[in-house]
């Protein structure tokens, strides 16, 4: 894909309001979407998140009343709930150091300075601030998810219009140490959706980009 083709993909994508409930994403393609989520970069590489992929109709239905009634939640093929680690602790830093050591063939002790830097960074934050930090990281994953969807021709709707606390309850996230940040229904646009015909509303480069 060249740069012009990439821009065309970004113009093709839009926040899908109406999905075609009869069209499902095949499992091979979905596997690539998950791979792209896993490849998302994060601060220090800590990956303070979990992605819950919901295809079960009953679970989708139970989330609808906590999604401002937005029908994308039930009509989509795959509903992704993006959750943040809440709060991240020393245990997760140690787990990440151990993974890095195994992956890169070094001892965990060789990474002591790196570990100390991460713990120092977190030590300045209380639990709420740590969770806010993790939520910010989750938005990077959302961006990657939406770009991947656009690149491979899937539709998506990023969705903050949900009640995270209710999602947490239904998905048992609190007991797993996570909290819902937002949802992203994915699938295929309905031919009835009028939104793709609307012009994109974006400020000009003059306002948004400063060259120095």
Ligand X SMILES: Cc1cc2nc3c(=O)[nH]c(=O)nc-3n(C[C@H](O)[C@H](O)[C@H](O)COP(=O)(O)O)c2cc1C
Residues contributing to the site for ligand X (CB under 6 A): 14-15, 17, 70, 157-161, 182, 200
78-85 β-sheet, strand order: 49-54, 78-85, 178-187, 155-156
Which residue, 47 or 67, has its beta carbon nearer to ligand X? 67
d(CA 131, CA 174): 12
Which residue, 8 or 160, has its beta carbon nearer to ligand X? 160
d(CA 183, CA 103): 31
Which residue, 61 or 98, has its beta carbon nearer to ligand X? 61
Q: How far is the CB of 200 from ligand X (least distance, A)?
A: 5
Contact between 181 and 82 under an 8 Å Cβ cutoff? The reply is yes
Contact between 51 and 140 under an 8 Å Cβ cutoff? The reply is no
Residue nearest ligand X (C-beta atom) = 161
Q: How far is the CB of 17 from ligand X (least distance, A)?
A: 6
- Shortest CA distance to 20 belongs to which of 68, 65, 76, 66? 76
Q: How far is the CB of 3 from ligand X (least distance, A)?
A: 19
Which residue, 79 or 118, has its beta carbon nearer to ligand X? 79
- Shortest CA distance to 63 belongs to which of 84, 82, 83, 79? 79
Q: How far is the CB of 33 from ligand X (least distance, A)?
A: 18
């Amino acid at each position: 894909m060249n740069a012009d083709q990439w821009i065309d993909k970004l113009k093709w994508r839009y926040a899908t309001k109406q999905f075609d409930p009869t069209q499902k994403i095949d499992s091979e393609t979905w596997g690539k979407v998950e791979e792209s989520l896993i490849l998302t970069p994060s601060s220090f590489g800590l990956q303070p998140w979990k992605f819950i992929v919901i295809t079960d109709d009953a679970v989708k239905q139970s989330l609808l009343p906590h999604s401002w009634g937005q029908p994308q939640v039930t009509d989509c093929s795959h509903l992704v709930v993006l959750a943040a680690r809440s709060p991240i602790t020393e245990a997760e830093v140690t787990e990440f150091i151990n993974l890095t050591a195994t992956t890169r063939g070094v001892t965990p002790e060789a990474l002591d300075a790196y570990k100390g830097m991460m713990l120092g960074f977190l030590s300045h934050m209380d639990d709420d601030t740590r969770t806010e930090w993790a939520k910010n990281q989750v938005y990077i994953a959302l961006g990657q998810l939406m770009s991947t969807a656009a690149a491979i021709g899937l539709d998506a709707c990023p969705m903050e219009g949900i009640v995270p606390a209710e999602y947490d309850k239904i998905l048992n996230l609190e007991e797993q140490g996570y909290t819902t940040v937002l949802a992203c229904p994915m699938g295929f646009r309905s031919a009835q959706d009028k939104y793709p015909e609307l012009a994109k509303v974006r400020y000009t480069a003059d306002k948004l980009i400063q060259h120095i």
